[in-house]
Every structure is written in C-alpha cells, then in structure tokens.
Amino acid sequence: MSDQIANTPDTSNTASQTLKENQSSDSNSTNNSQPSQNSDSKSNSANNNDNNIDFATPNHTPQLDAFKQVVESRRSVRRFTDTPISDEVLDDCLRLAMLAPNSSNLQPWEFYIIDSATMRQQANKICMNQNAARTAARLIAVVARTDTWHKHAQQILREYPKRPVPKKVKAYYNQAVTIDFLRGPANVLSVAKWGLIQGFRQFKGPIKSPYYDADDVKNWASINASLAAENLMLALRAYGFDSCAMGGFDEPAMKKLLKLSDNHHIVMMIAAGERAEKGIYHEQFRFAQSQFVKRV
C-alpha cells in the first residue's frame, strides 16, 4: 500500500480513551435520546463492556474518529495500482453496502461485478475509457431495480425474523406496499390513486404520495441504490482501498453488455482499487456549509 493512503484506521486508543472519559457521564446520564432498547444507560454501558461491544451513544462515541477518517480520506480516485481486491474484501464491502438504509427494507438494488476479461474490456470502453475504469481492480455496476418490490415484499414475509409474522407487518407488505406501487397497465390505476390521495389530504391530513408512474419508481429505486453505493465506497475506503463513482458511461450500451432489462437502471459505475500515486487529480473542496443548510 502506498503511504499516502490512510489505511484502515486504528482507533483503539481513542476508543478506549473515549470510553473511560464517558463512563462517569454515562452513570449520570439521563439523556432521553439514548436508543430506545437502552432504557437503562448505566446497566447497558456495563453490558456493552462485558460483551466488549462499544456502541456509540450520544455521549459515548468510540467510532467517531474512525468514521471521520474514513469519510474524510475518501476521494474520487482516477488511477489505481495493480493491487487486487480479494473476493473476501469485496464481499464484505458489498455486505456493508447492503446494510444501507432502504425504503421499507425492500432492497431494490443489485451489484454487477464485471470480472470477465472480455466483458471488462468492453465495459471500460463503455465507460469511455476513463482512467478510473481502465485501471480499476474491480468495476461494479450499481443497479436500481424497479420490478422487485412485490417479490421482495413477499420475501420479507417469508424471511421475517419474528414468527408468527405480526399482523401489522403482514398488512403493511401485502396491502400498503401494494397500494403504494401498483399502477396497472399504462398507469391506469394511478388516476384513481391520485384522486384518493387528494381527497385524503384535504379531509384527513398529510399522507405520503404513492408512486404514480415509472419515473416515480425509478427515482425511488435509485435513491435506495445510491445509498448502498455510498456505503460501498466508504467500506472500500475503510479496507484501505479507493473508488471512483462514474456517471460518465453509455447506459444503454452497459445495460446491453450486462443483459439488463428496462426494469434495471444503472445508477452509477464504481471503479475500485488501491489508490495510485497521482491517482487524485485535484484537491478536495466544497462550497460553504451555510450555502446549503437552511435552519427553518
């Protein structure tokens, strides 16, 4: 690994320091914003130590420094070394990607790892031969699925960790989710849905808009897949690797190469590998936070 890279941060000192610093405040804590399962912060703190689990709570943040190091050292890297990313590391990064928050836990994402040499050659070209794609140890298409919501709703009911599945959960996935997504052929049901929602808003109060057309569902699936993509890039960073998200590719051509249908939408390509010297083209900068944060 080149030494310009911040490798997986070792924050054991910081973590134990923070833990010690916070033990006294934990025992005095009356903070209502503790996670609900931790109603007794004092005994929980003791349990955490017994089990050697260092959960972050608002007054005990053992992972904060490590998290900041990962986020702050992630950069878009356009040149990678020849160092491979093992399947084991990539699998774990993908596991972490799929822990991203996602709407109703419907997990409308897929990840295509383009490993075959011939496919990779074509994929690089479709990514317009960007250096990031050409030099990446792994090239991944992050895909949003617009057609898996029903199948996944049923899968949630089959695999739900609590048995019997609570009635509310069943109703949610069998009825609420269906109403939300169902549009019928040529969106024939959407007009009725729209009318019902307007009526509800006027007479009962706020209600979430359902999905009326294909773009709404594509947007929904893309939001979810993009959150997973960010988790993936941060996980790679935590493993000492780097990435470059790429929107600069020919989507129809990539879909053809990967044999994807109209129900698949490639939200971005991710090039991943070990950061090469001069792999970062520019200094990182952002506009002032005050430009974007509105306190209302």
Ligand X SMILES: Cc1cc2nc3c(=O)[nH]c(=O)nc-3n(C[C@H](O)[C@H](O)[C@H](O)COP(=O)(O)O)c2cc1C
Residues interacting with ligand X, by CB under 6 A? 75-76, 78, 130, 132, 244-248, 268, 284
Q: Shortest Cβ distance from residue 247 to ligand X (Å)?
A: 3
3-state secondary structure the chain: CCCCCCCCCCCHHHHHHHHHHHHHHHHCCCCCCCCCCCCCHHHHHHHHHHCCCCCCECCECCCHHHHHHHHHHCCECCCECCCCCCHHHHHHHHHHHCCCCCHHHCCCEEEEECCCHHHHHHHHHHCCCCHHHHHCCEEEEEEEECCCHHHHHHHHHHHCCCCCCCHHHHHHHHHHHHHHHCCCHHHCCHHHHHHHHHHHHHHCCCCCCCCCCHHHHHHHHHHHHHHHHHHHHHHHHHCCCEEEEECCCCHHHHHHHCCCCCCEEEEEEEEEECECCCCCCCCCCCCCHHHCCCCC
Q: In degrees rounded to 5, what are phi and psi of residue 271?
A: -90, 135
Nearer to ligand X by Cβ, of 77 and 177: the residue is 77
**Residue with Cβ nearer ligand X (244 or 254):** 244
We find the least distance from the C-beta atom of residue 118 to ligand X, in angstroms, to be 23
Min dist CB 14 to ligand X, Å, is: 24
CB of 5 to ligand X, least distance (A): 14
Side-chain half-sphere CA neighbours of 123 within 13 A? 28
Residue nearest to ligand X (CB): 248
* Closer residue to ligand X (CB): 134 or 152: 134
Q: Which is nearer to ligand X, 60 or 255 (CB)?
A: 255
Nearer to ligand X, 177 or 234 (CB): 234
For the bound state, the minimum distance from the C-beta of residue 284 to ligand X, rounded and expressed in Å, comes to: 5
Residue 205 backbone dihedrals phi, psi, to 5 degrees: 130, -165
Question: CB of residue 103 vs ligand X: minimum separation in angstroms?
Answer: 19
Q: How far is the CB of 133 from ligand X (least distance, A)?
A: 9
Nearer Cβ to ligand X (206/247): 247
Kindly tell me which of 90 and 244 has the beta carbon lying closer to ligand X: 244
